[in-house]
């Protein structure tokens, strides 16, 4: 057998990765429930999809978040609705390292074969989709003689106006850099972040009936329209927003204990592990340590494989150490920049311009600074997945299930992640498609845990997972008075007594923590 340098490897196995071309069935080994992102990407209630809104779409997100699953769910959905199987071509660069050698030649050969031997069998090949999975594996910014994926994709798009190309990577910068290299204008493509599953997704996987009909809590009335949060901010009508929240709460009022019981299990597993499992797991105690070991290893691999391409981080091991530090701290208190600079033997600019942005681009960790402070001296470090905190500390879900202090700490981290999603969803509904900037605020009465903005108006959020609630109420009320904010939110845990699940008092709306997670 002649030596194979990789150019023909993909061509010889392309049909194996696209079994729907020949097989009578196109069944995949997929989760029983669609990922939450499926609904806005595939638009199952419409004839088009987000994949068709532009010629080139990038799905970006950390390893194991479900990008490949989304692609296969979309292909299955479209074929089930009558689309010709030949209109879908899937190329997984991570399936065999040989595909990554001379990947430009291999990709061109594969596409020529697809066009002539597969697509040619279809009378009407429009629209057609080419999915290139894990393109970051064939990025070679340090090897100028390696073509990469940008030029073959540009040629693919030029040759077939009816073609849509979808690529996946671990970070948006990996797509932006390659598109810039081949002079693809920014308006000709877009990227869509794919994040770990939210609490509502985990809950609906366990209890599908809660997603159906009158028991489904919908974020839409909170995001837009009369009685929404933006409407309440604009009109100063807190009562209408409270009524919207109560209406959504009433849908699950009879199942509150069932929902409450799952919060701690979600906190222990996080959104990556809970989705990667073969089936729904009602108790995190059923997991063995391997699930957390795999998660930790995936993060380590992502750091060492992806960060070198960012060109701004010289000591990658420091990023792993920074994640470990954040896992121990759990967002409990701000860390002074000078302390971090001393620990890592770097200057503040390296920390703020290189380390934190790199982790943010990989959707692993966010640094949160103080609201209304142009020169903050400290930063809160929030990992974006609570399962990763367990993986980087003791790797034992039982510790979370039996230690209320640890549960409370993880609940704060999950509250940050869901507040990011909450703010993004609200802004996106208003046509503002930008990443939210969450801050904390230190007042005389204490600290406001989270502050986000809607059209320039701040919304303070206090975290009161355990009594006394007043410790969270006082600083939020002080913030409202200081900045003339229309109102604030207080999130209360299950150990907090309340005569009403959603109450309004002196410009503050108090609502259950678990219900807030459902609304994100």
Range of the domain at 67: 9-193
- Per-residue pLDDT tens for 421-439? 999 999 999 988 788 999 9
In a domain, 213, yes or no: no
- Overall number of domains in the chain: 1
- How much is the pLDDT for 245? 98
Could you tell me if residue 483 is inside a domain? no
Mean pLDDT score, 245-255: 97
Query: Residues 381, 351: contact at Cβ < 8 Å?
Result: no
pLDDT of residue 320 exceeding 80, the answer is yes
> b/e per residue, 307-335, with b = 16+ CB within 10 A?
bebbeebeebebbbebbebbbebbbeebb
Phi, psi (rounded to 5 degrees) for 140: -140, 70
Query: Within a 10 A sphere around the Cβ of 483, how many other Cβ atoms?
Result: 15
Tell me: the pLDDT tens digits for 131-145? 999 998 886 655 666
Question: To which H or E segment does residue 129 belong?
Answer: strand 128-133
Minimum mean pLDDT among 16-20, 271-275, 505-509: which range? Answer: 271-275
Q: What is the pLDDT of residue 102?
A: 81
pLDDT at position 279: 67
Q: Please indicate, yes or no, if residue 45 is contained in any of the structural domains.
A: yes
pLDDT (tens digit per residue) in 471-501: 999 999 999 999 999 999 999 999 998 889 9
Which element (helix H / strand E) includes 390?
helix 386-392
For residue 488, is it within any domain? no
- pTM: predicted TM-score of the whole model, two decimal places: 0.91
Q: Which of 375, 376, 379, 403 is nearest to 390 (CA)?
A: 403
Structure token digits, residue 197: 């599953």
Query: Which of the four pLDDT bands, split at 50, 70 and 90, describes residue 316?
Result: confident
Instruction: Note whether residue 162 is domain-resident.
Output: yes
State how far Cα 286 lies from the chain centre: 25
Is the model's pLDDT at 20 over the cut of 80? yes
Confidence tier at 250 by pLDDT (50, 70, 90): very high
Determine the average pLDDT of the residues in 407-434: 94
Contacts of 387 (CB under 8 A, 6+ apart): 268, 269, 270, 271, 272, 273, 274, 292, 295
pLDDT at 293 over 60: yes
| Predicted local confidence at residue 309, as pLDDT | 63
Least confident of 25-34, 346-355, 380-389: 25-34
Q: Using 50, 70 and 90 to split pLDDT, how confident is the model at 123?
A: confident
Average of per-residue pLDDT values in the chain: 91
Which uninterrupted H or E stretch holds 165? strand 163-169
Is 146 part of any domain? Answer: yes
What does 206-274 look like in DSSP terms, one character per residue? H-GGGGSGGG---SHHHHSSTTSHHHHHHHT-HHHHHHHHHHHHHTSGGGHHHHHHHHHHHHHHHHHHH
Whether the pLDDT of residue 234 is over 50: the answer is yes
Assess if residue 165 is contained within a domain.
yes
Interval 340-381: pLDDT, tens: 999 999 999 999 999 999 999 999 999 999 999 999 999 999
Residue 61 lies in a domain: yes
* CATH number of residue 148's parent domain: 3.40.50.300
CB-based contact 51:41 (threshold 8 Å):
yes
| pLDDT interval class at 278 (50, 70, 90) | low
């Amino acid at each position: 057998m002649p030596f194979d340098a990789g150019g023909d490897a993909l061509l010889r196995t392309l049909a194996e990765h696209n079994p729907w071309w020949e097989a009578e069935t196109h069944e995949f080994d997929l989760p029983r429930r669609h990922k939450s992102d499926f609904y806005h990407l595939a638009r199952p209630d419409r004839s088009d999809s987000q994949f068709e809104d532009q010629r080139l779409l990038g799905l970006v997100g950390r390893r194991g978040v479900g990008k490949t699953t989304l692609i296969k769910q979309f292909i299955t959905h479209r074929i089930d609705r009558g689309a010709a199987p030949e209109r879908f071509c899937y190329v997984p660069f991570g399936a065999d390292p040989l595909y990554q050698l001379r990947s430009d030649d291999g990709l061109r050969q594969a596409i020529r074969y697809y066009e002539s031997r597969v697509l040619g069998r279809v009378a009407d090949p429009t629209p057609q989709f080419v999915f290139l999975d894990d393109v970051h594996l064939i990025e070679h910014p340090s090897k100028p003689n390696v073509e990469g994926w940008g030029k073959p994709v540009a040629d693919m798009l030029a040759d077939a106006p009816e073609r849509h190309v979808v690529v996946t990577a671990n970070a948006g910068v990996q797509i932006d850099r390659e598109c810039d290299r081949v002079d693809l204008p920014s308006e000709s493509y877009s990227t869509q972040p794919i994040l770990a599953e939210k609490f509502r997704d985990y809950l609906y996987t366990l209890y599908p009936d809660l997603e159906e009909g009158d028991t489904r809590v919908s974020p839409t009335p909170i995001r837009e329209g009369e009685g929404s949060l933006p409407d309440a901010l604009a009109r100063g009508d807190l009562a209408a927003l409270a009524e919207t929240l109560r209406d959504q709460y009433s849908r699950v009022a009879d199942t509150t204990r069932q929902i409450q019981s799952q919060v701690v299990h979600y906190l222990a597993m996080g959104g990556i592990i809970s989705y990667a499992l073969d089936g729904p797991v009602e108790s995190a105690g059923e997991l063995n340590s391997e699930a957390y070991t795999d998660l930790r290893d995936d993060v380590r691999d992502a750091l060492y494989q992806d960060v070198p391409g960012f060109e701004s981080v010289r000591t990658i091991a420091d990023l792993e150490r920074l994640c470990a530090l954040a896992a121990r701290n759990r967002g409990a208190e701000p860390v002074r920049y000078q302390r971090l600079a001393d620990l890592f033997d770097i200057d503040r600019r390296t920390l703020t311009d290189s380390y934190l942005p790199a982790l943010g681009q990989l959707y692993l960790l966010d640094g949160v600074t103080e609201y209304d402070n142009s020169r903050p001296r400290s930063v809160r470090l929030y990992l974006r997945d609570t399962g990763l905190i367990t993986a980087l500390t003791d790797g034992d879900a039982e510790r979370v299930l039996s230690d209320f202090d640890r549960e409370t700490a993880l609940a704060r981290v999950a509250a940050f992640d869901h507040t990011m999603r909450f703010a993004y969803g609200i802004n996106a509904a208003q046509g503002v498609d930008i990443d939210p900037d969450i801050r904390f605020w230190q007042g005389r009465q204490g600290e406001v845990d989270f502050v986000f903005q809607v059209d320039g108006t701040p919304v303070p959020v206090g975290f009161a997972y355990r009594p006394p609630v007043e410790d969270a109420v006082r600083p939020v009320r002080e913030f409202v008075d200081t900045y003339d904010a229309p109102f604030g939110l207080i999130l209360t845990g299950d150990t907090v007594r309340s005569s009403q699940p959603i109450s309004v008092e002196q410009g503050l709306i108090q609502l259950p923590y678990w219900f807030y997670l459902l609304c994100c």
